[in-house]
């Protein structure tokens, strides 16, 4: 395949305490944006799509990681099809079906659960449109297998799935809570917007309550993160929708704060960039860590990448391993047992320097605006 924009990334190896037999892991893939008509060399970086050759390379690496690292499950964090103008959404959905079929094939061949998380490009209606299970109709042979391949949604957690796309899944004592945060964005429009946002926030609180009651640990996954979009200079989530007389982000942080002892952490993507965010409660106390997933689709700011996250027997994160591709695959690893309190206590300058090395970019002016902390707005 044609070489992808090459940058040098530091490999961080810090305080590795866990023995190999005590480690568990899962693989995260996001933002494929597959252009099934072109190789990468024919796609402009600004298009932010992955060519056929790039996706083939990633599929081979996924199979390699599944064989050599033995993760327990895969999470796909949303955005299947290539970016298209509004009048070509039908073409994008056909393209999404190709990607769904290939993801399902990987999971079924390797006999591993794969969870789908809704992204803003995954609506059959429009970009930032409403979620619909009809997305999976485009994977004609696997319609009934989604949204969890080789697994089942926790009974009772799917009461909002058909309308909003949220659900929960069990892996041992880990409760994986899938949110559709496209609902929370400025670009999402619905006559029932406030009602939908309130319903999912209430559902999240109930899922976290169940995790606490059953002595489980919650992993919360989404596509669009909270915090500030440094490209647009405003929050990712709208502040126009008010729930309990405050913003969605404030409600979200308050809910997490109540159950912080039962939360492993959060995963998000959307930005196409590698990195971390720290979430804080109304008193300025650290709640938990969010890990940002790099995209499969390369652009001017990132290399093609996938991520393996490791955790210990106490269901605490202990490593964030990013495999990124230039002309070959490279590992960029952050290890500490556990990650959450270590990041929470880290000096902001030191954290900025760490994330600055993780971001797949050589454009330092871009990195000066990194959004590292998520607080009430």
Distance, in Å, from the CA atom of 252 to the CA atom of 349, rounded to the nearest integer, reads 26
CB 253 within 8 A of CB 277: no
pTM: 0.92
Q: Which helix (H) or strand (E) holds 279?
A: strand 275-280
- Domain boundaries in the chain? 23-353
β-partners of residue 26 are: 309
- Sole residue written with tokens 């924009």: 5
Q: What is the largest CA-CA distance in the chain?
A: 53
pLDDT (0 to 100) of residue 2: 41
Going by C-beta distance under 8 Å and a sequence separation of 6 or more, which residues neighbour residue 254?
Answer: 281, 282
What 8-state DSSP symbol labels residue 86? Answer: G
pLDDT (0 to 100) of residue 356: 62
What HEC string does 124-172 produce?
A: CCCCCCCCCHHHHHHCCCCHHHCCEECCCCCCCCCCCHHHHCCEEEEEC
Long-range contact set of residues 133-139: C-beta below 8 Å, sequence gap at least 24: 133/161, 133/162, 135/93, 135/96, 135/100, 136/100, 137/97, 138/93, 138/94, 138/96, 138/97, 138/100, 139/97, 139/100, 139/101, 139/104
pLDDT of the chain along its 377 residues, tens only? 444 433 333 333 333 433 444 689 999 999 999 999 999 999 998 899 999 999 999 999 999 999 999 999 999 999 999 999 888 988 899 999 999 999 999 999 999 999 999 999 999 999 999 999 999 999 999 999 999 999 999 999 999 999 999 999 999 999 999 999 999 999 999 999 999 999 999 999 999 999 999 999 999 999 999 999 877 889 999 999 999 999 999 999 999 999 999 999 999 999 888 888 999 999 999 999 999 999 999 976 788 999 999 999 999 999 999 999 988 998 988 999 999 999 999 887 777 777 766 654 444 434 445 668 999 99
Residue 365: C-alpha distances to residues 276, 301, 362 (Å): 19, 12, 9
- The helix-helix angle for 52-69 and 89-110 (nearest 10°) equals 30
φ/ψ bin of 128: left (φ > 0), alpha (ψ from -120 to 50), beta (otherwise): left
- Sole residue written with tokens 């994160």: 317
pLDDT (0 to 100) of residue 233: 83
β-partners of residue 324 are: 305, 330
Name the fold adopted by 23-353. Answer: Purple Acid Phosphatase; chain A, domain 2 (3.60.21)
- The helix-helix angle for 248-258 and 193-213 (nearest 10°) equals 10
User: 10 Å Cβ neighbour count for 354?
Assistant: 18
pLDDT (0 to 100) of residue 45: 86
Taking Cα atoms as reference points, which of 121, 203, 138 lies closest to residue 166?
Answer: 203
Cα radius of gyration (the chain)? 19
Cα atoms found within 13 Å of the Cα of residue 46, Cβ hemisphere only: 0
Distance, in Å, from the CA atom of 180 to the CA atom of 263, rounded to the nearest integer, reads 18
CB 325 within 8 A of CB 57: yes
């Amino acid at each position: 395949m044609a070489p992808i924009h090459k940058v040098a990334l530091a490999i961080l190896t810090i305080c590795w305490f866990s023995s190999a037999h005590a480690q568990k892991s899962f693989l995260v893939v996001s933002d494929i944006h597959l252009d099934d008509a072109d190789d990468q060399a024919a796609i402009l970086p600004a298009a932010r799509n992955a060519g056929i050759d790039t996706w083939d390379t990633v599929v081979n690496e996924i199979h390699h990681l599944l064989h050599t690292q033995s993760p327990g499950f895969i999470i796909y964090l949303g955005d299947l099809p290539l970016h298209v103008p509004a009048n070509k959404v039908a073409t994008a959905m056909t393209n999404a079906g190709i990607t769904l079929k290939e993801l399902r094939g990987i999971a079924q061949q390797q006999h591993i659960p794969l969870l789908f998380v809704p992204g803003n490009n995954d609506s059959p209606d429009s970009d930032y449109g409403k979620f619909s299970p009809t997305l999976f109709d485009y994977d004609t042979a696997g319609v009934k297998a989604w949204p969890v391949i080789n697994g089942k949604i926790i009974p009772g957690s799917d009461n909002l799935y058909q309308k909003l796309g949220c659900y929960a899944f069990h892996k041992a004592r880990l409760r994986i809570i899938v949110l559709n945060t496209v609902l929370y964005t400025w670009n999402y429009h619905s006559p029932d917007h406030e009602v939908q946002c309130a319903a999912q926030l209430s559902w999240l609180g109930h899922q976290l309550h169940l995790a606490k009651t059953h002595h489980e640990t919650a992993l919360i996954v989404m596509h669009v993160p909270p915090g500030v979009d440094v490209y647009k200079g405003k929050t990712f989530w709208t502040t126009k929708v008010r729930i309990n007389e405050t913003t969605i982000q404030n409600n979200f942080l308050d809910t997490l704060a109540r159950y912080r002892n039962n939360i492993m952490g959060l995963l998000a993507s959307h930005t196409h960039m590698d990195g971390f965010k720290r979430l804080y409660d109304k008193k300025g106390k650290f709640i938990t860590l969010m890990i940002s997933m790099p995209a499969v689709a390369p652009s001017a700011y990132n290399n093609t990448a996938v991520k393996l996250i490791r955790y210990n027997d106490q269901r605490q994160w202990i490593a964030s391993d990013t495999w990124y591709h230039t002309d070959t695959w490279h590992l960029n690893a952050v290890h500490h047992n556990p990650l959450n309190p270590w990041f929470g206590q880290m000096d902001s300058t030191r954290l900025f320097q760490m994330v600055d090395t993780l971001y797949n970019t050589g454009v330092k002016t871009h990195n000066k605006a990194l959004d590292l902390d998520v607080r009430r707005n």
